[in-house]
Amino acid sequence: MKKLFSLALALSLGAALFAQEKKDVTLNIVPLPQHVQIKNGSFNINGNTKIVFDSDEDKKVAALFQDFLKSNYNLNLSLVKSVGKNSIYFSSKNANPSNKEAYELNIASDQITVKGKEAGLFYGMQSLIQLLPVDKKASIEIQQASIQDEPRFAYRGLHLDVGRHFFPVAFVKKYIDILASYKLNTFHWHLTDDQGWRIEIKSHPKLTQIGGYRNQTLSGNYKTDGDYDNTPYGGFYTQDQIKEVVAYAKSKYVTVIPEIEMPGHALAALSAYPELGCGDKPGPYTAAQTWGVFDDVFCAGKEETFKLLEDVIDEVIPLFPSEYIHIGGDECPKTRWKTCPYCQKRIKDNNLKDEHELQSYFIQRMEKYINSKGKRIIGWDEILEGGLAPNATVMSWRGDQGAIDAANQGHDVIITANSYGLYFDHKQGADQNREPLSIGGLSTLRKVYTADPMPTKISENNKKHVLGVQANIWTEYIGSSNKVEFTILPRVLALSEIAWTKPEKKDWKNFSEQRAARQLAKIDQTSTFYRVPEVYGIVDTTVYASEYTIRDLKPSVEGAKIYYTLDNYDPSELDLEYTGPVKVSVPNSKERVFKAVVVTASGKRSNYIRVNIINTKK
Ligand code: ACM
Ligand code: ZN
């Protein structure tokens, strides 16, 4: 009897533990925190709840939370300095001294405490915001729990190309808000390219006056059906606007890394200062009107090139507190350098082997200049060509080799390659016919989520050089801020989780069907665009059967509905609602097509998923 009793006890304890573990992953936070303990009961935020802070820095974060409750839940809570019952307490006292991005969030019956320093406190607040209910009118009950959290990687980045298309300051700030809400901490601002120079440089005003504009732009797909729009296009940020964005980012604990492209991707700069192209009679050049890689690059032989770029750097550095300046270095054809007397003389005078070593000379010379100003460089992985600059950090984008070489040589590395789904300009679903125009490639939500951005071929003791991960948003085919939002959401949620959460804790089903689905339901209530993921539970497939039951479908957005057709027409909210298993009966020698879509509360639709059911019986 005693044995039986203890067995039963052990079983129920086991069940309780199991339930506890199961429950652990049900807090709807993205990225998933490292440690969560769920407790019984909840904390109720009501009109009498006080928001409490300790230091002035803590007050900033507390005030952000106060604003969020006011604008989203119509709750105007007071901000006070004394702790009591029914309070939400933001404090940097006793915060983790070794990691300023770590935080603790304790939700008890009579108090919520958010503990962290600076970014950590802010991230604790972001987690708390994510725990607020989707229904803005419901009473606010927060599950009691205790969270200890810190990031896996110190560098968690998102890039935006404003060269191919320009985006206004207000949108750049919104973009920073999106980054920060998922605990990303770096905004890589790609400010110059062939198609436009977007940062005011007072000593060389033509860079924006001329280089900030192009006469027309290719519309459509440049490989197949593109044609020019015959419409001038351009824009740039003044230095005051840049300062405004950098200060805004700082208030959200986001570092802005500026990118000034060299020696390639320089046509816009050359259109303003053609004398910096190769040869004795360079130019004329125009800012590029189409996409791709162009042969006209900065001349590496002329001193004037370095003079201009150093002047640019002199103005860029005071605008950006970032430790890093990104100097591009990618996709620089050597065509012009091969026949340019200035470039050839530079090669000879410096005993360089070839044009690849000339590229290395260029980057190393700029690195030395930037280092002399107290900053470090980052460049795309081509900066490895012809020898890596001594203190450079490498952004590995062409697969893993750049990352492996750089890390094994003791250099820091950021992983951005699309082998990990990190080129967010690539399409989000396999069938281009169901997707908006994009540059091609494939980066699905699942591909991003399941990636572990730690190349296995980097030796164990060099893995510390992988500082983190970043997704890139190139904007050749992204001309509106709505499309930028569609491009990053929901993939940013997956990016945040691979950047923040330990890989062994990741769980695609829990992420996609529950936590991301919850966050998307919240985004669905706002004016922000996003791509509604396809229905979960089926994939595009063909089955051979006379009868087939579609079951276990789940919407990709919490609270959204699933609709389907059986006649091969594209489904919408006008069709049949999926509420349980659907039995499809197929006559002999016939085929039926089941297509299902997700339709959200705001009316947004996913792409359909299709199941062909073929009865081969005669
Ligand atoms: C790049 O995609 N050219 C870095
Ligand atoms: Zn040259």
pLDDT confidence bin for 108, thresholds 50/70/90: very high
Domain total for the chain? 3
Mean pLDDT throughout 535-558? Answer: 98
CB 276 within 8 A of CB 298: yes
pLDDT confidence bin for 236, thresholds 50/70/90: very high
Residues 438 and 28: their CA atoms lie apart, in Å, by: 31
24 lines ligand 1 (CB under 6 A): no
Residue 511 lies in a domain: no
Are 243 and 368 within one domain? Answer: yes
Write out the DSSP string of 233-254. EE--B-HHHHHHHHHHHHHTT-
| Predicted pLDDT at 8 | 43
Residue 306 lies in a domain: yes
| Predicted pLDDT at 19 | 39
Ligand closest to the CA atom of residue 475: 1
CB 87 within 8 A of CB 52: yes
Are 369 and 326 within one domain? Answer: yes
pLDDT tens-digit series, residues 582-616: 999 999 999 999 999 999 999 999 999 999 999 99
Are 342 and 447 within one domain? Answer: yes
Is 265 part of the annotated catalytic residue set?
yes
Q: Which of 120, 149, 178 is the last residue of a domain?
A: 149
Residues 283 and 194: their CA atoms lie apart, in Å, by: 14
State what percent of residues in the chain have pLDDT above 90.
92
Residues 6+ apart with CB under 8 A from 498: 420, 448, 449, 451, 452, 453, 469, 506
pLDDT confidence bin for 153, thresholds 50/70/90: very high
Q: Strand 218-219 and strand 111-116: pairing?
A: unpaired
Could you tell which of 422, 474, 475 is best to mutate to test the pocket of ligand 1, judged by most ligand atoms within 8 Å of the CB? 474
User: 480 alpha carbon to ligand 2 midpoint, in Å?
Assistant: 37
Closest atom of ligand 1 to 423 CA is 2
Residues 174 and 123: their CA atoms lie apart, in Å, by: 17
User: 372 alpha carbon to ligand 1 midpoint, in Å?
Assistant: 27
Confidence check: pLDDT of 18 > 80: no
pLDDT confidence bin for 171, thresholds 50/70/90: very high
Q: Can you give the CATH number for the domain in which 360 is found?
A: 3.20.20.80
| Predicted pLDDT at 2 | 40
- Is the pLDDT higher at 107 or at 20? 107
Residue 46 lies in a domain: yes
Is 150 part of the annotated catalytic residue set?
no
Are 495 and 600 within one domain? Answer: no
pLDDT confidence bin for 318, thresholds 50/70/90: very high
pLDDT tens-digit series, residues 341-400: 999 999 999 999 999 999 999 999 999 999 999 999 999 999 998 888 888 999 999 999
Are 182 and 320 within one domain? Answer: yes
Residues in the chain: 618
SS3 letters across 520-576: HHHHCCCCCCCCCCCCECCCCEEEECCEEEECCCECCCCCCEEEEECECCCCCCCCE
Question: Torsion angle, CA of 246/250/255/260, rounded to 10 degrees?
Answer: 10
Residue 509 lies in a domain: no
Give, using CA atoms, the residue closest to atom 3 of ligand 1: 330
Is 534 part of the annotated catalytic residue set?
no
Are 463 and 597 within one domain? Answer: no
Q: Can you give the CATH number for the domain in which 81 is found?
A: 3.30.379.10
Are 110 and 134 within one domain? Answer: yes
pLDDT confidence bin for 11, thresholds 50/70/90: very low
Could you tell which of 160, 190, 331, 395 is best to mutate to test the pocket of ligand 1, judged by most ligand atoms within 8 Å of the CB? 331
Are 87 and 165 within one domain? Answer: no
Residue 436 lies in a domain: yes
3-state secondary structure of 372: helix
Q: Which of 149, 174, 189 is the last residue of a domain?
A: 149
Residue 5 lies in a domain: no
Residues 216 and 195: their CA atoms lie apart, in Å, by: 10
Are 200 and 293 within one domain? Answer: yes
Q: Can you give the CATH number for the domain in which 590 is found?
A: 2.60.40.10
Are 471 and 562 within one domain? Answer: no
Catalytic one of 265, 326, 426, 465: 265
Are 138 and 159 within one domain? Answer: no
Q: Which of 479, 500, 521 is the last residue of a domain?
A: 500
* CA distances (Å), origin 121, targets 26, 52, 64, 108, 517: 22, 13, 11, 18, 25
User: 327 alpha carbon to ligand 2 midpoint, in Å?
Assistant: 19
578 lines ligand 1 (CB under 6 A): no
| Residue 558: domain span | 541-614
Question: Torsion angle, CA of 440/446/448/453, rounded to 10 degrees?
Answer: -130
Residue 510 lies in a domain: no
Residue 171 lies in a domain: yes
380 lines ligand 1 (CB under 6 A): yes
**Joined tokens for residue 221:** 């797909």
pLDDT tens-digit series, residues 280-291: 999 999 999 999
Q: Where are the alpha helices (DSSP H) in 48-118?
A: 56-73
SS3 letters across 149-180: ECCCCCEEEEEEECCCCCCCHHHHHHHHHHHH
pLDDT confidence bin for 83, thresholds 50/70/90: confident
Confidence check: pLDDT of 6 > 50: no
**Joined tokens for residue 569:** 């027409």
Residue position matching structure tokens 């993939």: 491
**Backbone region of residue 374 per phi and psi (left: phi > 0; alpha: psi in -120 to 50; beta: other values):** left
Question: Torsion angle, CA of 376/309/286/346, rounded to 10 degrees?
Answer: -100
Are 145 and 203 within one domain? Answer: no
pLDDT confidence bin for 15, thresholds 50/70/90: very low
Give, using CA atoms, the residue closest to atom 2 of ligand 1: 397
| Predicted pLDDT at 225 | 83
Could you tell which of 188, 294, 397 is best to mutate to test the pocket of ligand 1, judged by most ligand atoms within 8 Å of the CB? 397
